[in-house]
């Protein structure tokens, strides 16, 4: 999207440029716990419903039950942990408001509890966040029992639990005031939903895959038939999520950053730069999975268990997935440090050099205006991201089919030649 420049009228007085602190580590840790539990809950259920479950069902009821039980138990734990995590975040905010910015905030759980459904829009959203994630955990809880895990109720319980968790996650970014501009607010909220839900399905699914790979719930005889299609199904979902995160991230970048220089000159930009580096590393690992690991797994399935690469892949796959899951957790840890906007931080730093106004009274830039050029750039970016994702998925599938065909010929060095 176009990155407009701004000219600012300087104030006649002078002062030092304000520094923008990262904020207390405690605040970030509390926020991180909330994000990890909510997004993990959504992602693990999505993995069970969309990727692991359908493949396990084709193998047999025992495999379906084992996979569903393991993922459902993890989802229930995450959902139950999300409730105190959200309440702790609300308690910390309530105590901070009472103590002021300079005091020791602590935690006011009584105020947090009373704020739920207190009649305000913020209270309703907080109440829905706590209630819906708890309802989602209760809905998924029966699937933690093997007798229910392979029953016809399985997809219904997972779907309802996923819906409850997705709405609970969405309440964190729903507007708590009547917007002045419904069109812009609706679009911004939609972008945040793409960002959060895409990240939840992608990163939470990675955590679920790491759990399944490390616990080895699938018996050795069925692992070839299980992992290859699961990886391909999750890969398709993950690539869609990456596209959603990338597109929404481009919009948020356009909204809060006025150019690449602000990635170095402002605290918001530097934190965003770290986030982009972690995201880029995750993408590189995804490329490795998509163009090397996934096709090799497909080839192994065709070649049989005697292939020498089998041991390598069995060791390497859990390692790569676990590394991706840990990087995803690091990405969520960095996100809460993003305070304000790089645009305003740069503008206020410039204004403070010519003014003695207190830091809290410095002027702020208005929101960027959406123009025809904005929509043109946004449309071009959307088409480019979709084309890259579809092209990558098609090429990786082509590689997988070629390696499978070579492996099926029975040549000892078939996989290396492919």
pLDDT of residue 284: 83
Q: Is 112 helix (H, G, I), strand (E, B) or coil?
A: helix
- The label of the residue with tokens 């163009």 reads 291
Q: Which two tokens stand for residue 303?
A: 């070649």
Q: Which of 28-32, 218-222, 339-343, 364-368 has the lowest mean pLDDT?
A: 364-368
pLDDT interval class at 106 (50, 70, 90): confident
pLDDT of residue 17: 47
pLDDT of residue 359: 55
119 pLDDT higher than 50:
yes
Q: Which of 312-321, 372-381, 388-397 has the lowest mean pLDDT?
A: 312-321
Among the listed residues 201, 204, 208, the one whose alpha carbon sits nearest the alpha carbon of residue 236: 201
pLDDT of residue 51: 92
Average pLDDT over residues 196-209: 91
Average pLDDT over residues 171-192: 86
Report pLDDT digits (tens) over 296-348.
Answer: 666 665 555 444 444 555 556 667 777 888 888 888 888 888 877 878 777 77
- The label of the residue with tokens 């929101």 reads 367
Q: Which of 58-67, 226-235, 238-247 has the lowest mean pLDDT?
A: 226-235
Distance CA(41)–CA(86), nearest Å, equals 13
Report pLDDT digits (tens) over 121-180.
Answer: 999 999 999 999 999 999 999 999 998 998 999 999 999 999 999 999 999 999 888 877
Distance CA(397)–CA(403), nearest Å, equals 10
pLDDT of residue 114: 92
196/346: higher pLDDT: 196
265/352: higher pLDDT: 265
Average pLDDT, the chain: 80
396/160: higher pLDDT: 160
pLDDT of residue 4: 40
Distance CA(12)–CA(179), nearest Å, equals 35
pLDDT of residue 181: 79
7 pLDDT higher than 50:
no
**What is the residue-wise DSSP string for 345-399?**
HHHHHHHHTT----GGG---PPPPPP-HHHHHHHHHHHHHHHHHHHHHHHHHHHH
Instruction: Give the contacts of 11 (CB within 8 A, at least 6 positions apart).
Output: 351, 354, 355, 357
What percent of the chain clears pLDDT 90, i.e. is strictly above it? 30
pLDDT interval class at 27 (50, 70, 90): confident
Average pLDDT over residues 29-54: 93
Distance CA(216)–CA(36), nearest Å, equals 24
**What is the residue-wise DSSP string for 243-275?**
HHHHHHHHHHHHHH-SSTTHHHHSHHHHHHHHH
Q: Provide the greatest CA pair distance for the chain.
A: 81
Cα angle value 154/80/162 (rounded, 5°): 40
The pTM of this model reads: 0.82
Among the listed residues 371, 345, 340, the one whose alpha carbon sits nearest the alpha carbon of residue 264: 345
The secondary structure of residue 153, as a DSSP letter, is: T
Packed helices 309-334 and 25-47: angle between N→C axes, nearest 10 degrees: 140
């Amino acid at each position: 999207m176009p990155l407009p420049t701004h000219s600012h009228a300087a104030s006649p007085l002078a002062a030092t440029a304000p520094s923008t602190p990262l904020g207390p580590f405690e605040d970030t840790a509390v926020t991180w716990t909330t994000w990890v539990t909510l997004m993990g809950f959504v992602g693990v259920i999505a993995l069970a419903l969309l990727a692991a479950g359908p493949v396990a069902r084709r193998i047999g009821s025992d495999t379906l039950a084992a996979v569903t039980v393991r993922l459902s138990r993890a989802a229930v734990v995450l959902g139950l942990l999300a409730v105190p995590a959200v309440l702790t975040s609300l308690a910390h905010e309530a105590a901070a408001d009472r103590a002021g910015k300079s005091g020791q905030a602590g935690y006011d759980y009584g105020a947090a509890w009373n704020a739920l459904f207190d009649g305000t829009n913020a209270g309703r959203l907080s109440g829905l966040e706590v209630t819906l994630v708890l309802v989602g955990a209760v809905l998924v809880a029966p699937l933690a029992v093997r007798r229910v895990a392979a029953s016809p109720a399985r997809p219904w319980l997972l779907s309802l639990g996923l819906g409850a968790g997705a709405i609970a996650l969405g309440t964190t970014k729903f507007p708590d005031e009547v917007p002045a501009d419904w069109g812009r607010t609706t679009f911004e909220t939609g972008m945040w939903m793409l960002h959060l839900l895409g990240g939840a399905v992608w990163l939470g699914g990675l955590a679920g895959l790491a759990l399944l790979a490390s616990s080895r719930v699938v018996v050795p005889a069925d692992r070839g038939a299980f992992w290859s299609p699961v990886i391909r199904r999750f890969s398709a979902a993950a690539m869609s999520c990456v596209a959603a995160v990338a597109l929404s991230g481009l919009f948020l970048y356009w909204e809060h950053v006025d150019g690449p220089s602000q990635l170095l000159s402002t605290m918001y930009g530097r934190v965003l730069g770290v986030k982009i580096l972690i995201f880029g590393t995750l993408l590189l690992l995804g490329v490795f999975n998509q163009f090397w690991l996934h096709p090799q797994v497909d080839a192994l399935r065709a070649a049989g268990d005697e292939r020498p690469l089998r041991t390598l892949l069995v060791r390497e796959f859990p390692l790569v997935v676990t590394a991706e899951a840990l990087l995803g957790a690091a990405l969520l840890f960095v996100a809460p440090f993003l305070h304000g906007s790089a645009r305003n931080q740069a503008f206020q730093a410039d204004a403070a050099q010519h003014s003695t106004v207190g830091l809290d009274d410095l002027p702020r830039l208005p929101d960027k205006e959406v123009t025809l050029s904005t929509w043109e750039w946004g449309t071009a970016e959307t088409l480019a991201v979709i084309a890259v994702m579809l092209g990558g998925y098609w090429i990786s599938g082509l590689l997988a089919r070629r390696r499978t065909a070579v492996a099926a010929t029975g040549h000892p060095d078939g996989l290396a030649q492919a």
